[in-house]
Structure formats: C-alpha cells, structure tokens
Amino acid sequence: MNIETISLNKKSWEVAAERFFGRTALPEYGPFAPLEDNLNLLGDLQGLKVLDIGCGSGHSLKYMDEKGVAELWGLDLSHQQIKVAHNVLSNTAAKVKLFESPMESNPGIPLNHFELVYSIFALGWTTNLEQTLSNIHSYLKPGGIFVFSWEHPLYSRFNQIEGNILVNKSYLEEGPYDHEAWKTTAIMQQFKVSTYINALISTGFTIEKVVEEVVLPENNRDKYTNSWYSCEKAETAPTTLIIKSSKR
C-alpha cells in the first residue's frame, strides 16, 4: 500500500467529490458501456448482502436498495463522498454501513459475509491490486460474485487530435500515472486486461464474463466531441472494461 499516493488521492477526491455526485453509478458501468439492464451480470438481488468498493456518493447502493437487497455496505477513500452517501442513503429500507478507508485495508468489514461485492469505475485507484483483490475475496462467501468496471486500459493509449486518433503510449506500459483528464493531481493505475484477469485467478476467483462492448448514442453525438470520452475515440477503443468473477 502506497501511503503517499493514497494521501494525495484522498485530497484530490475531497475537492472533486461534488463534481462526481451521482455519476457513473449502477445501472451504468461506465461511459458508452452496456447497462446492467442489458447485461444482467448481477442477477436477482433480492435479500442479498452487498458491498460497494469505492461507493462514491452512494447512488449505486441506492440502486441496490431499490432492487431489494438486505444489507448495504460501502467503502470509499473520501470523507466528503462518505458524508454525501450517508445523505443519499438516509431513507433506504436496507441496513447501511459505510467506511471511510482505502480499499487496500480492511476497516472492519466482516469476512465470508457477502453474496456480492462490486466496484464501479473505482478499482483503478488502488495502489496494490493484489491486496485489494485479496481483501475482496475474503469478504465474499464461497461462490459469491465480484463484478467491477474501470476505464479500459486501451482507451488512454489514444489521443484525439484535430479529428485524428493517434497512439500516445504503449499498451504494454503498466504502473501509476496522473490521468490527463483529471483536474487535480491524482494517481491512478494502468494494467493490461490480462493483468486484471491473471490477478483475479491467482487470488482465487473464477472468471465468469469479460465485457468490452461499446454502445454509442444514436443522436446528439456532437455533445461528446470535446470530452475525454468521445464517440470518435470510442469507435477506436472501448471506454470501459467490465469483469464478472466468482469466489472459488
């Protein structure tokens, strides 16, 4: 666990939290990605105990409550995000327990407790992928499901310049990086798809499904032209990687 990077990212998220209120939350997995309504990766949620890694403003947990889960647990690095999530989840039917903590540590989450752990566009913030996956594996009951989404590692390897899509960095280069689309300094992690898959397998997960599909809007494409997640770039490389796995 890299304490310096975690501290830097926490400070960045305290500033950015308001900007990301309700963004990229279930049933959405990420920009231009298929919805859970179409993928059905989570299955029947009625009565399940679920844990959100990087729960943000709590909107994915709110979605879970609407689907009838029994317990809502969440973990996020940002104090501001946890504060907002408490407000968003103040009227849920399910029991709520939220932790302000880096995902590399266990702040008191019970072991072998959850049928489902998920992470929506958050896993790439970890400073130790293996430790984070080991934690998640320990939280799940045998046979439990882990689903995560993150920016596809190919997507940031391309730049869009004056209508041209150009390769700016090798896909094979892994490690920490300061994302150019982030407004304050923050360090994310670049991993190949195979690195995610092999890390899951070595931790004790079975891969159930890998999703790289892109769903582009049929109308109003121009509004995405100048954003990081543009239709033009998404026609070249997928924006979002989604992996479903189960605990062996």
In sequence order, the 6+-apart residues with CB closer than 8 A to the CB of 151 are 30, 121, 124, 239, 240, 241
Region 217-246: what's the mean pLDDT? Answer: 84
**Taking 80 as the threshold, does the pLDDT of residue 8 lie above it?**
yes
Helices 79-88 and 3-16: angle between axes, nearest 10 degrees: 50
Residue of higher predicted confidence among 179 and 76? 76
- How many domains does the chain fold into? 1
User: pLDDT digit string (tens) for 161-208?
Assistant: 777 778 889 999 999 999 888 888 999 999 999 999 999 999 999 999
Signed CA dihedral, 218, 58, 81, 56: sign only? negative
pLDDT tens track for 84-102: 999 999 999 999 999 999 9
Contact criterion met (CB below 8 Å) for 178 and 186: yes
- pTM for this prediction: 0.95
**pLDDT bucket at 24, cuts 50 / 70 / 90:** very high
- DSSP class of residue 191 equals -
Question: In the beta sheet, which residues pair with residue 152?
Answer: none
Mean of per-residue pLDDT scores for the chain: 94
SS3 annotation, 61-99:
HHHHHHCCCCEEEEEECCHHHHHHHHHHCCCCCCEEEEE
Question: Residue 33 is part of which domain span?
Answer: 3-17+24-247
**220 has a pLDDT exceeding 90:** no
Say which DSSP state 111 is in: T
Q: What is the CATH number of the domain that holds 130?
A: 3.40.50.150
- What's the distance, CA 194 to chain centroid? 17
Do the beta carbons of residue 214 and residue 239 sit within 8 Å?
yes
ω into residue 217 within 30 of 0, thus cis? no
- Confidence tier at 225 by pLDDT (50, 70, 90): low
Nearest CA among 22, 37, 35, 69 for reference residue 50:
69
Pick from 187, 191, 179: nearest CA to 229: 179
pLDDT at 232: 84
Look at residues 177, 175, 157, 176 and name the one whose alpha carbon lies nearest to residue 167.
Answer: 157
